[in-house]
Structure 1
Amino acid sequence: MTTPVAAEPRPHKPTPEQFKSIADTLAASLNERGLISSAVSVEIFSLQIARVISNLGPFADGYTITRRLEDRYGWEGDLQIAEALDDFSDLRTLEMRHAQAEWAARNDVKPPFTVGSRVSFGTEMREKGEITGVSKYTPAAYEIAVDGDADAAPPHNRRRIVHFENVAAIDAAEAAAPAEGAR
């Protein structure tokens, strides 16, 4: 069960336009470093990169991207190209943060629960914890101290970042019972 927070779903994957923007940044970086042939337009390289990265997961590394460009488009990759393409994951993360921040603003997303609320989350809502704040970095997400996590207490203060819509309130009877492995 999830908590509805907006009429439209949160974006989780870049759009084709966002992949193209990421590819433009990567191709420009390759060009500035003198790593791609000036005989071919940077735009063509950008289109090839966009086609490859749109079929990869969020944490693909530069080596994987380089290998796919070699296989699909005959690139002659090397370590410098792979290192430059390693920026993909960070660029994708920033693009998604921006898209999710726009989504939250457009839908006037507000936290459904307050700091101090006991909630469940995770696969089948099996994990439990206490909301300790709203994330400063991930739009529309809580910081949650997970029950039973020894590192949730000082000096570590580890928190799980969970989207608002992936959190459910713990009913009053369950909240009154002592937490399993309570801190």
Structure 2
Amino acid sequence: MGAVHEAFREFQYPTPPSARPGGAQAKFLAEVNAEEAERNKDLVLAEYRRYQQGEMPSGPGARDLISFFASVDGKLARAAAEDPTVVGSDQEVRALLAEVAGVLHLGVANYCWFIDPSKALCLKLAGTPNATKPPAGMCDSARCPQATHHPRHRPVWAESVRTKQVFIGSIGRNHKTEKARLQADVDRDVKVLASIDAAAAA
């Protein structure tokens, strides 16, 4: 009777397709993931083209990203030497960049290249070393070895400097400790801004 009762309940109150495994919800999630994957490939391709034009990333992870881009240069050069028709089209480059595009996470003020979780500062701060993706709101991109800053992130850092400087100006003389802490944050943000400008002009 139990099976009959459940079948009757399903007839009366059918389970929405979005709640069924493999239903509309799973299909929608797959479509979202596919869109994000394509978006990431486009972003990495754009940064690679900027790198080719001499506009470098900055931040703790910049050296690794530049090395990866240089390795892509090398693969394209070897392919062109073997086949002169290879010209490094966007499609060919996107295929070579797929490795890092798959681990790219977008931050408000940085890119996170989540290649090696053991190096991720956010996981250490959150106490979750076995996590498979960076936790939201735990990024300290000025110190994480897998974070990079790009010209598109500059307005966020500039606004952070402006806001903190205004706040420091409103703090009374009796709050020296808080003022010093905020000033240290401003100094860090100014340093990030300077590194973005220097790398972009390289």
TM above 0.5, yes or no, is: no
Structure having the larger proportion of residues in strand: 1
Task: Name the TM-score, length of structure 1 as normaliser.
Answer: 0.30
Task: Name the TM-score, length of structure 2 as normaliser.
Answer: 0.28
Q: Larger Rg: 1 or 2?
A: 2
Structure having the larger proportion of residues in helix: 2
